[in-house]
Amino acid sequence: MISNSKYLSENIRDMSQDFLVSVVVLNYNAGELLLNCIKSIKKSTYKNLEIIVVDNISNDNSHEICKKEFPEIKLIQNGKNLGYCGGNNVGIKEAKGKFIAILNPDTTVEPNWIDELISAYNEFGEGLYQPKILSLNEENIIQSTGNMLHVFGFGFARDKGNKVTDKTEEIEKIGYASGTCLFTSREVVNRVGLLDEFLFLYHDDLDLGWRAAHIGINSYYVPKSKIYHVESYSLKWSSKKFYWLERNRKYCLLTHYSKETYDKMRFSLVLVDLFVWTFYFSKGFLGAKIKAELEIRKHKEDIKKKYVELEKRKTITDRELIRNFPDEIFVPINVSQESMNQTFNSILAKLSRKVKEKI
């Protein structure tokens, strides 16, 4: 005999085939990668799709070529480069689907990717979901099995660079869903809000997941849904990328933590910042760090306004969230040497544990 809950779950899953899914692909000079991405989406076993390509004034004509090859897609051409956040928000606002998937143009997807994400949503409810992200160019190399958030505002992809194994994986709660491929419902978007356009690009997904967690909406990793990704096809690991990462990390710390929490963390944040300054200097990116700090000071009033807005919405305390944050972070070898990673993580872990005791 089937239990009522099981019957209900199966019934919902059957009904979900009728739900429109809007796939938003933001393009900026992605070239042939964009075409390959749309081709793979078209092969999805889930057919009730709306594909929206938003173009941030590409000069390689990739968006026009894509529209010519796939006339059924909806193409939106922005008048200027709105960044990752603004560009995707344009697509989200235009989306008609019950479900929305944000997908990078430098990805390809496995045919059942949406089926598995919807199945997970039906099982776990309102949340932000990401698939297993694998490297498009390196065989059997993982890019993310879920993104994690550290108490000092660092975000990182779990298992990045590791080889795929045959271990059994289950759907599990994570820090935040990767913006490379982020799946949710229109209801969740309405509750959490759009991507924060101040961030422009990088840590936008971290911010979204953090905002969601503070109102009781979790993020999940769905291993049976798989996509393949070319990492950082536009900026790669550059001074410009490090600028956005550091600027936005500082912004998130100042907007997400209550003043009480931030005051308890202040000394540890100063110590972490000294290490970050050293790291940026060693990489020749000192200018990027200085620029990031100046931008935060420049937008002090905007940050204050955002802080007040988020504090009013919180239903889950900083203390409740922080206790689940990992104490260490993962830094790819192509960013920093292993010896520096070990030293940094050793310091970070000690400071993280002390902060958790205080809060």
Look at 84-98, 141-155, 231-245 and tell me which has the smallest mean pLDDT: 231-245
pLDDT of 96 above 90? yes
The residue type of 232 is S
pLDDT at 27 over 50: yes
Residues 6+ apart with CB under 8 A from 234: 28, 29
Which amino acid makes up residue 208? L
Q: What percent of the chain has pLDDT over 70?
A: 91
H runs (alpha helix) in 96-203:
113-124, 186-192
Residues 6+ apart with CB under 8 A from 301: none
Per-residue model confidence (pLDDT) at position 2: 38
Instruction: Return d(Cα 317, Cα 355) in angstroms, integer.
Output: 15
| pLDDT at 4 (0 to 100) | 42
Q: Residue 337: which pLDDT band, with cuts at 50, 70 and 90?
A: low
Mean pLDDT, the chain, integer: 92
Q: What is the pLDDT of residue 340?
A: 64
Q: What's phi and psi for 233, nearest 5 deg?
A: -65, -20
- Paired residues of 131 in beta bridges: 222
Is residue 283 within 8 Å of 241, Cβ to Cβ?
no
Average pLDDT of the segment spanning 294-312: 98
Mean pLDDT confidence for 34-44:
98
Answer yes or no: are the C-beta atoms of 125 and 19 closer than 8 Å.
no
Residue 152 CA to residue 158 CA, distance in Å, equals 17
* pLDDT for the residue 31: 96
For 184-230, the pLDDT digits (tens) are 999 999 999 999 999 999 999 999 999 999 999 999 999 999 999 99
Q: Residue 236 pairs with which residues in a beta bridge?
A: none
CA-closest candidate to residue 271, choices 131, 158, 152: 152
Q: What is the pLDDT of residue 345?
A: 86
Residue 3 binned pLDDT confidence (cut-offs 50, 70, 90): very low
Give the global pTM.
Answer: 0.92
Over 90: is that where the pLDDT of 334 sits? no
Identify whether the C-beta of residue 99 lies closer than 8 Å to the C-beta of residue 180.
no
Task: Decide: residue 280, CB within 10 A, 0-12 exposed, 13-18 middle, 19+ buried.
Answer: buried
Kind and range of the H or E element at 132? strand 127-135
Question: Among residues 83, 164, 173, 159, which one has the least CA distance to residue 332?
Answer: 159
